[in-house]
Amino acid sequence: MTKRTYTPKKRNKKRQYKEHGHQKAIFQLAKMYESQYPELKLMTGSLAGVNLDIQTARRAKDAGHKAGFPDIHLPVSRGQWFSLYIELKTDEGRASGEQLTIANMLREEGNLVLFIKGSEQAWNTIIKYLSMPKLVITKGEKPDAEKAQLPDDRRQVPLQTQGGTTPEGPGPGV
């Protein structure tokens, strides 16, 4: 009888860590701006770029962590949406089929879901989203995501992490 061993999928570790760096920069900024935008205390992130051993990965899955969910979730209503989800991508990154399926399901439930390249654009999107008026829904009404758009240029907060370094913002969203 042959002993079976686990062979992990080959992943681009450099890309994985780059996405993690962008996500980390966003959460550092969120912490710095919590007094100005208290809603940022509600923002949560995924385990993007975190290498887990097989046992820990199984425990995470058993505890409800699901593949395909966006990297960042801000559960506050603004504009036409109930909450904001952001999937961070590198320049080379593309959305998987599973990510697209989850994004469409979240959109159908009245959420804004964006695929964004880089922390600078993601941070500016978060600030624009928070600058929008709160969503007010009357009984039986559902938001129309087709008509709603992010405002062009509401308050822009400079991208600067702790220590004064600025992560690269690789480009426009997907």
Rounded Cα distance, 40 and 35, in Å? 9
pLDDT of 141 = 67
* Per-residue pLDDT, 170: 34
**pLDDT tens for each residue of 122-135:** 999 999 999 999 98
Q: pTM of whole model > 0.75?
A: no
What are 76's two structure tokens? 């506050």
What average pLDDT does this structure show over 84-107?
91
For residues 14-38, average pLDDT: 85
Q: Render pLDDT for 146-167 as a digit per residue (tens, 0 to 9).
A: 555 555 543 344 444 333 333 3
CA angle 52, 60, 20 (to 5 degrees): 50
pLDDT tens, 49-91? Answer: 677 788 888 888 888 888 889 999 999 999 989 999 999 988 8
Let me know: does 68 contact 99? Beta carbons within 8 Å: yes
- Cα distances from 174 to residues 19, 37, 89, 91, 97, in angstroms, run 15, 26, 8, 10, 14
Average pLDDT over residues 105-118: 94
Is residue 48 very low, low, confident or very high in pLDDT (cuts 50, 70, 90)? low
Q: Where are the strands (E) in the chain, listed by range?
A: 44-45, 72-74, 84-89, 112-117
What pLDDT does residue 154 have?
Answer: 39
Residue with tokens 């097989």: 54
**Band of pLDDT at residue 173, cut at 50, 70 and 90:** very low
Percent of the chain at pLDDT exceeding 70: 68
Domains belonging to the chain, first-starting first, are: 13-131 (3.40.1350.10)
